[in-house]
Amino acid sequence: MFFKVGKKFSDWGLALAVTSVGVLGLLILYWQLSNDRVATLQDKQNISQQKNRKYNLPDKAIIPKSSDRGDQQQSSPTIKQAIKPTNPSLSKVIAEWEKAAKTEIFNVIIPASFKGQVLKEVKLSSKEKAIALTFDDGPWPYSTLKILEILKKDNIKATFFMVGQPLQEYPQIAQQVVLDGHAVANHTWSHRYRRMSPADAAREVEDTEALIYKITGLKPAIFRPPGGIMTNGVVDYAKKHKYFVAMWSSDSNDYSRPSVPRLVRNVMKNAKPGGMVLMHDGGGDRTPTVRALPIIISQLKKRGYKFVTVPELLDLQEQEQQVLAKKSTDTPTTNSSTSLNTKK
């Protein structure tokens, strides 16, 4: 009897052990499959890179409270009055901007041949090496100001593609950008990637333009789509309304927060005359960009580059084309009779 009971317990123990091993095996298999799935998703995210990156507003703790600010985009956002700066000289300049804005003398003019066009670079035939540094997603409370300091130290003018939401929160930073002589451009209101209705796409562009105009007195004629996405409606609207759509020829990939040496290499490997360099002053922590910028400037200078804004880059190509056209009209043509006489 004891033998039978013992055998029975032994059978139960064996069954329990087998079951435990089976359950453990299933758990291990599930863990492996989960890791594979995570790796696959990570690969997809790496492939899509900028298109799928999240645009983050600054920490709410450092954003001034505002009664009319909502977390979601409004159908037609309330455009707030620009905060008047306390600096008397800046106040005077802003007053002049507001006066000038009424007569639109400060509107950004681009050559007619570029209106409605989409380019990532311009073709320069001269030996002069010009390149445009561009910064997206600002204005931002720390990084934009640090970038302005670096650019001012090296006497460099750049182009800032501004997003409506942070622009609404930090109008004084945008005013400082213009006061320092930089160009401003439109980068939509809320930095959305998904497909939009024509009405939503129009609001994304128009509301940002209206706010830039209200704060700085400038009407930007240059647009860049968030993530470089061409098919969600905003580019179609921009082209239809004769914006120049500025893409980029050199991507720093700073949105992925690479190391400073890697960020510098990303810019330098595709730097070329007539090119536009993509960096970010907003949308997240841009400390690597701030640290890399002086190195990028130094290396580009060593290669003989001069720095211009995007409007200036377009003007350079326009001027070159005009010179070439003038040369072609000034060159005397040989008529048939002259040719015959020459042969005689």
Summarised one tens digit per residue, pLDDT across range 50-68 is 444 556 666 544 433 332 3
Q: Confirm if 188 and 137 have CB atoms less than 8 A apart.
A: no
Length of the chain (residues): 344
Residue 187's contacts (CB-CB under 8 Å, 6 or more residues apart) are 136, 137, 161, 162, 163, 208, 223, 224, 226
Number of domains in the chain: 1
Determine the 3-state secondary structure of 257 from DSSP. coil
Distance CA 222, CA 271 (A): 21
List beta partners, residue 131: 307
Catalytic residue among 182, 187, 191, 280: 280
Q: What is the pLDDT of residue 12?
A: 59
Residue 250's contacts (CB-CB under 8 Å, 6 or more residues apart) are 266, 267, 269, 270, 271, 272, 275, 276, 277, 278
Q: Verify whether residue 191 is a known catalytic residue.
A: no
Answer whether residue 29 is part of any domain.
Answer: no
Q: At what angle do helices 143-153 and 171-179 cross, to 10 degrees?
A: 10
Answer whether residue 247 is part of any domain.
Answer: yes
Mean pLDDT for each consecutive 10-residue tract of the chain (344 residues)? 49 57 55 44 41 54 34 35 51 61 56 96 87 98 97 98 97 97 97 97 98 95 97 97 98 96 98 97 97 98 97 93 78 48 39
Answer whether residue 53 is part of any domain.
Answer: no
Answer whether residue 60 is part of any domain.
Answer: no
Distance CA 333, CA 340 (A): 14
Answer whether residue 289 is part of any domain.
Answer: yes
Q: What is the pLDDT of residue 323?
A: 82
Determine the 3-state secondary structure of 124 from DSSP. coil
Burial class (CB in 10 A: 0-12, 13-18, 19+), 55: buried
Q: Verify whether residue 280 is a known catalytic residue.
A: yes
Smallest Cα–Cα separation from 216: which of 309, 311, 93? Answer: 93
Whole-prediction pTM = 0.71
R_g (Cα) of the chain, nearest Å: 29
Range of the domain at 208: 88-326
Q: What is the pLDDT of residue 125?
A: 81
Cis status, amide bond into 139, omega within 30 of 0: yes
Q: What is the pLDDT of residue 2?
A: 45
Catalytic residue among 43, 136, 182, 241: 136
Answer whether residue 237 is part of any domain.
Answer: yes
Distance CA 174, CA 169 (A): 10
Output the domain CATH number for residue 169.
Answer: 3.20.20.370
Q: What is the pLDDT of residue 275?
A: 97
Q: Residue 105: what residue type? A: I
Distance CA 313, CA 323 (A): 16
